[in-house]
Amino acid sequence: MKVTNQVLVRILTIMLFSPFIISCASIPQLKVQYQLPPRSKELKGKRVVLVFKDDRTNKKILGQGALKEFNNFSGNISFSLTRKNEPESKMGVYQVSELMREAFKRRLENLGLEVLFIQLHGKPQISITLNEFLLDLVDRKWVAKMNYKASLVKDGKVIASQNISGQAERYKLMGRGEAETAVGEIFTDMVNRLDVPGLFQHADL
């Protein structure tokens, strides 16, 4: 049976590009789904500057146990938003700093605040300092941890602050689904736990 030149070209093309396709498919991303609380107009009309600082001692997202399950992890995080009775919105792929800025921006806007990223004279500033954000696999349990400090600053002075930390655990079943569930749970809980109205009330703003 004769093989035409066209068929040979197709076979060679598949052979050449298959390793490339396989290598791309083997680079996993961590998926983080953040669930916003119900919308509020409690702080409508107010403006705030959002500042993020990454103070983590360990800048890696994955611990040693998790790294074995996320082969060739790129460090990228696929971020999506959900809200009760609304479809999921895919926001894009971020590094940790970008992820935090976007999530807290959405959280503040959800309260009616206008969020700025450039300091304006006389405008209050919410500073988020991340101290820990880690996923690991320990004794067949996915463990997700997050720790940060939120400060309300005005005219260079810290007026009020909150320290927020937590941990979520999920038993490892098949694949990485439970890992991403654990990260989504702790991320949602930690971001939503920030009492933004409380910061403003304490500062009499």
Question: Would you write out the chain's pLDDT as a tens digit for each of its 205 residues?
Answer: 444 555 444 544 444 444 433 334 445 679 999 999 999 999 999 999 999 999 999 899 999 999 988 888 888 999 999 988 888 899 999 999 999 999 999 999 999 999 998 887 788 999 999 999 999 999 999 999 999 999 999 888 999 999 999 999 999 887 778 999 999 999 999 999 999 999 988 776 6
Residue from 188, 187, 190, 141 nearest 165 by CA: 190
**For residue 176, what pLDDT is reported?**
77
**For residue 192, what pLDDT is reported?**
97
Are 171 and 137 in contact by the 8 Å Cβ rule? The answer is no
Question: Tokens 């880690």 — which residue?
Answer: 134
**For residue 28, what pLDDT is reported?**
65
CA dihedral 150, 132, 33, 65 (to 10 degrees): -170
**For residue 180, what pLDDT is reported?**
92
**For residue 22, what pLDDT is reported?**
37
**For residue 5, what pLDDT is reported?**
54
Q: Which fold has domain 5-202?
A: Rossmann fold (3.40.50)
